[in-house]
Amino acid sequence: MTDTSNTLVAADGTPLRRKLARALFRSRVRAFGLVLPLLAFVIAAFIIPIVVLLWQSVYDPRYAELMPNSTAAMADWDAKSAITEEMAAAMVADLIVVRKDKTIGKVATRINREISGARSTFTITARAAAKMKPPYLEALIANDALWADPELWRGVKIASKWLNPGYIANALDFKYEADGSFSRTDPERAIHVMLFLRTLEISFTVTVLCLLLGYPVAYLLSTLPARSSNLLLILVLLPFWTSLLVRTTAWIAMLQSQGVMNDLFVVFGIAAEDDRFSLIYNKTGTLISMTHILMPFMILPLYSVMKTIPPSYVRAAKSMGATNWTSFWRVYFPQSVPGIGAGALLVFILAIGYYITPALVGGQDGQMISNIIDFHMRRSLNWNLAAALGLVLLVFVMFLFWVYDRLVGIDNMKLG
């Protein structure tokens, strides 16, 4: 191999192979150097925060960190047998410490997620904990009768697990039990699965509506002479350049019961003055405004694909006796499929995570899963549950993407 007499050498005497490898390496480093800033940016601003947030869906060390003795004692308990003095003693010892450190609030908030109302049990007991004497279990019960309830201790056992599948279970309308099993959330509180399905339904309907309404527009754009098609294209792009909020509020002005549309309906006698249509603050409002807002994302890929379809193909089909419909369906339509693929995927994925529009015009039956994620981020401060819902949504979208790839083929779509 290293027989120098046979290898080609460069002008300076080094083997050509090595010289070439070095040159290639250098250009690869340079290319990598060029993408490095972007890569670093994506990792720092996108990948790391997402991973950190999703990690929260199972990672909840609050109780375990603040109440180490109780956590250890709970680990030995099987969640069925009687409450032991040892568990009670560990609880009292920890409560004294968190009361002194003023971290009792954090512990109480955590417990309250498992057992509603237990917050005050914890804060009040912590106040008295320093004066308690053995037997501790009786002292606890004397302080608040709730301590005799095994349900409370089961809640403590769940909270003490720092690696906790409870949030993901909750995101799927299941309840994680202290003995490690899962049970269904009672129907009065189950909401997430229904919201996931509704999100799917709304996104799918919006995609279909965008396609039905956008296809003819894109076709018109690609066939009109340049002058008029440019004008039309600007009309398509104009809403695109307008703020999302402005467009959504404009729809409120249009659709509300005293709004422009309803006024017209009354004038033309379609609706009665005192019985106007409910076009907004419900699912209808969400569908109408989301379809309008996402329309350009359908039209533009369609247009760029249609622009490349030579009109001569359709003419050729017609010259051989095809009807208008046959020449469209058999010749034109198959060539526009990559555009449909791209547009549909784009609209669907944007729609599934849509948040601000349903929040403003959705009322109650037009809310999507992103609105409940927002609720847990901003209102209930249950970031763990918000992360779990986000994780489920992400996995779900990836699954859909995989199905889509199987059915349509990712290579089979074109953005332009």
Per CB under 8 A, residues contacting another protein are 102-106, 108-109, 112-113, 116-120, 123, 188-191, 194-195, 256-258, 281, 363-365, 367, 372, 375, 377-382
With contact defined as beta carbons under 8 Å apart, do 331 and 313 qualify? yes
410/268 Cα distance (integer angstroms): 48
| 184 versus 378: smaller Cβ distance to another protein | 378
Q: How far is the CB of 379 from another protein (least distance, A)?
A: 5
Q: How far is the CB of 123 from another protein (least distance, A)?
A: 8
| 27 versus 120: smaller Cβ distance to another protein | 120
Residues in the chain: 416
CA distance readout (Å), 94 to 152, 260, 409 = 16, 63, 58
Q: How far is the CB of 113 from another protein (least distance, A)?
A: 6
| 242 versus 278: smaller Cβ distance to another protein | 278
DSSP label at residue 126: H
With contact defined as beta carbons under 8 Å apart, do 342 and 278 qualify? no
Q: How far is the CB of 178 from another protein (least distance, A)?
A: 18
| 82 versus 197: smaller Cβ distance to another protein | 197
What 3-state class would DSSP assign to 59?
strand
Q: How far is the CB of 112 from another protein (least distance, A)?
A: 6
212/341 Cα distance (integer angstroms): 14
What 3-state class would DSSP assign to 185?
coil
* Alpha-helical regions (H) of 118-191: 118-129, 136-143, 150-159, 166-171
120/109 Cα distance (integer angstroms): 9
Q: How far is the CB of 167 from another protein (least distance, A)?
A: 13
Q: How far is the CB of 97 from another protein (least distance, A)?
A: 15
Indicate the residue type of 325. W
In the block, tokens 């849509």 appear at 354
| 201 versus 365: smaller Cβ distance to another protein | 365
DSSP label at residue 15: B
Q: How far is the CB of 161 from another protein (least distance, A)?
A: 18
Backbone angles phi, psi at 184, to 5 degrees: -75, 140
| 203 versus 256: smaller Cβ distance to another protein | 256
Q: How far is the CB of 138 from another protein (least distance, A)?
A: 24
| 73 versus 126: smaller Cβ distance to another protein | 126
| 78 versus 274: smaller Cβ distance to another protein | 274
380, two tokens: 């209930």
| 98 versus 218: smaller Cβ distance to another protein | 98
| 230 versus 380: smaller Cβ distance to another protein | 380
Q: CA triplet 25, 27, 29: central angle to 5 degrees?
A: 70
212/300 Cα distance (integer angstroms): 14
Rg (CA), the chain: 31
The count of other CB atoms within 10 Å of the CB of residue 347 is 26
In the block, tokens 């693929």 appear at 341
Q: How far is the CB of 105 from another protein (least distance, A)?
A: 3
b/e per residue, 55-75, with b = 16+ CB within 10 A?
A: ebbbebebbbebbebbbebbe
